[in-house]
Structure 1
């Protein structure tokens, strides 16, 4: 084979940092300090669930490489990849594609053996960067000005096509939809003009179906992008943004903003296999969690964690899920320290929810009384709780229906008891994939006057 690889002698399985993510409201817990990687830059990160391998690329000029780690911490690296940038896995996870910018080539490897299987030279001075596989072709962003190209990897003689969309910028991020093999999403992060573009590539050529241009006040400095497994949403991390924003893939309208902890800056985002969204922020404060996990469309996090010591911070695009959703992989750096660190973060869901209910101690018959409460943590839009009234006339309870829960977890219900006596109200949340069920109750004494 034309590529080469060297074995990293150290096995760091025993030292692999791990932590069940902490419930919000508690002091952010620390994951172990992590394990040193033979990298000092990170361009991209992909996880191969079929072979339980994590691929991490480092540009670094002539020293460009892709580090390969298994879930237990044994690592090797693929060398001979100057300017190693974007990574892509084939849909069957049997092939890894690496954009080697400095040699104008995309290199393919067998993910099982790590043997090089092909090299696609895309043209002198083209400098490919972001890559993705969609519609049976390999797509790549390239050039200092930004453009889109493709390689027909299914052809007997692979054909390179260039100049397919010159409106992109250098460093455009490419990602294919997990739900539709013919959908390609591209994000650009030029200052004050970020774009999201969706292409239909079923014909072999990119047909733009939707583009959204975001002003600098909406979102600035796109750093990472992913598509949810159901293919319905695009999630993003940007330098200037209130959080990890989600957009509908079909029309690029706003879906939700997963709030990032202030004043940290989002640097990485990843969509889990069940739609759970993980986001990482750049910060060196022990009081601000590095990684947060959100239920789909929820503003507040389900869980959060401080990764490593307070002096460590996640890096751009340094976050990825294991395909079974059992853990997150994160990459951090530390000021003044050469080299990056790898963390494995087991994730336990559903999380325990808490319901609080407040009611007046007394109220008169025939008068409307108000119940207020809070459900936490990380509740998504559309969540409801059910309210039941228990009194002398209906000791087994009568349903007062469901009431919506606001984005901040609060809810309000009203009732107008017709008879005096003790009334007990029970509020119940049924739970979902990300939350356990919970309930709360309050008693009100209804008086005659």
Structure 2
């Protein structure tokens, strides 16, 4: 059992052992964070266009875009799964899209005038079929045993955003047009069973971009489901940065810079019944990727400061396990996740993430290894609360303890709490667990009666969710008090004046209190005119006594739904 925590400073401390030698920061978040391993390589690029992961030979290929001129050379950096660069492939022209054949024996590379094919074992050039000229950078995907790729020709780079993109393929060693084309950048993403997804980037010539699913098994692709997102007023249009298809082909995830991460059903591209939670405030979606084993989804973003740039979480949106969050900030790890900058290994053991700086002229490859083992967490069933008698409208502290097995998380754990009373269930937010395992839920109950507090720990990638625990508190009415200041003597001719103060704890009264005043003398008891308490709680009782001798004045308030009643008396000796 381990109840100790090792707090880590954001953007300054490297996670010991697990993060040795990197510049990774793990951000504070709604739950604990596992110490995921992260190896970082600085890419020899000033631009970036594509990544392909070869699971057979355990290599990662990354392409330097370098678009814009027919004289620009290209390069493909080749890394091991451990982050070591083992080769750099030089290309005659700028290089963009990358895609692997189904058996990972061939790497298809999009160049300015051709689609080059490389042997992934020897890294030697196998063939160089010609392709239509591309000035803007290609997308490449393999379906039905052949590469599909985009082609854009423009006179100037400034026209790339709106220039027509054509989708072509290589058949029998030569290129052919598929007949599919549209304005602006067209993103291509492969899926299982010879399918692929085409998504259109937002641009002035396409104010309502589309996403479509294609069957690429035949000679030419056949479009299946398609969707646009803007409503009748033009609001809600897709601002696509990346596409991912789940390993089973059932779901499509979109990194939408306007809406965050969209999760769709592949069959008709309708919204999935459950979607992912919103990205942290200030984060703009830039990339998305499903792990090869289907367990995780990675959601990349562009964010600044301590706002997370990467969330790694269960792929099932119904799984409430808290995400593992990463902040990339600074010269050692970049500032944000690059668009189209994430791919997983087939077994889900590694996430390859490309980050870039704010200027977009430096790039890093992060190899993130989510922990494979999860440990148990226990919430103690023994609680204390203070004050001992809870009062409606006043602060209440409920204290409990948490214990966990396995390694300490990188940041303090947090528990989630709710209060259930006669008006339903109320979310109280999250509360930090201290180093000794204790935590305090802070609340201000606003209803008299039983209040049941439910505490949850949602888990993280290293620790399993804990069984919820509950604690019931009886909430009473808030006390009130009346204090009177009266003269010892008064005369029937000059009258009696008594001053007082009314005090109510708990929730403020909706209206000023109206106090009942009674007078008791030798002639009996009678009710005088009521008095209204001033905003500062003071009041005055004035009376002309009707007889001599001892006269008692009693001031009372009956209470309300949230406050107890109170009373006070004062006796005055009345003379003639």
Aligned mates of 1:337, 1:183 — CA distance in 2:
32
- State the match for 1:272 in structure 2: 291
2:126 is equivalent to residue 117 of structure 1: yes
Closer, same or farther: CA 140–435 of 1 in aligned 2, 3 Å: farther
Q: Please point out which of 37, 41, 46 is paired with 2:52.
A: 46
Partner of 1:150: 169
Does 2:202 align with 1:184? no
Alpha-carbon distance in structure 1 between the residues aligned to 2:223 and 2:185: 19
Give 1:226's aligned residue.
244
C-alpha separation between the residues in 2 aligned to 1:150 and 1:71?
A: 30
Partner of 1:106: 115
1:124-163 matches, within 5 Å, as 124=133, 129-143=138-152, 144-152=163-171, 157-163=172-178
Q: Are 1:70 and 2:76 matched, yes or no?
A: no
Output the CA distance in 1 between the equivalents of 2:224 and 2:357.
41
Larger Rg: 2
Query: 1:250 — aligned with what?
Result: 267
Superposed displacement of residue 70, structure 1: 1.1
Deviations, residues 37-60 of structure 1 (Å, cap 9, x unaligned): 111111111211111111111121
Distance 1:20 1:52 in 2: 26
How far did 1:239 drift?
2.0
Q: Is there any run of 5+ residues in structure 1 with no aligned partner, and where?
A: 1-13, 363-405, 410-423
Is the CA contact 1:279–1:292 (under 8 Å) kept in the aligned structure 2? Answer: yes
Q: Give the TM-score taking structure 1 as reference length.
A: 0.70
Aligned pairs (5 A) from 1:14-413: 17=22, 24-25=29-30, 34-61=40-67, 62-75=72-85, 76-100=87-111, 102-103=112-113, 105-124=114-133, 129-143=138-152, 144-152=163-171, 157-166=172-181, 168-178=182-192, 180=193, 182-191=194-203, 192-215=207-230, 217-241=235-259, 243-255=260-272, 256-275=275-294, 276-285=296-305, 287-298=306-317, 301-309=322-330, 312-335=335-358, 338-349=361-372
The 1:79/1:356 distance shift into structure 2, 3 A limit, reads: farther
Contact 2:282 2:304 in 1 (8 A): no
CA displacement at 1:443 relative to structure 2: 6.0
Contact 2:32 2:460 in 1 (8 A): no
Gaps of 5+ in 2: 1-18, 153-162, 390-426, 431-451, 475-576
Alpha-carbon RMSD across the aligned residues, in angstroms, is 3.9
Q: What TM-score, normalized by structure 2, do the two folds share? A: 0.56
- Inter-partner Cα distance in structure 1 for 2:378 and 2:472: 21
Q: Is the 8 A contact 1:245 1:258 kept in 2?
A: no
How many residues align? The count is 364
Task: Return the alpha-carbon distance in structure 2 between the equivalents of residues 218 and 296 of structure 1.
Answer: 24
How far the C-alpha of 1:315 sits from its partner, in A, is: 1.4
Identify which range, 330-339 or 26-35, moves more after superposition: 26-35
Distance 1:169 1:227 in 2: 23
CA drift of 1:194 comes to 2.1
* In structure 2, C-alpha distance between the alignment counterparts of 1:124 and 1:338, rounded to whole Å: 25
After superposition, the Cα gap between the structure-2 partners of 1:435 and 1:90, relative to the gap in structure 1 and judged at 3 Å, is farther
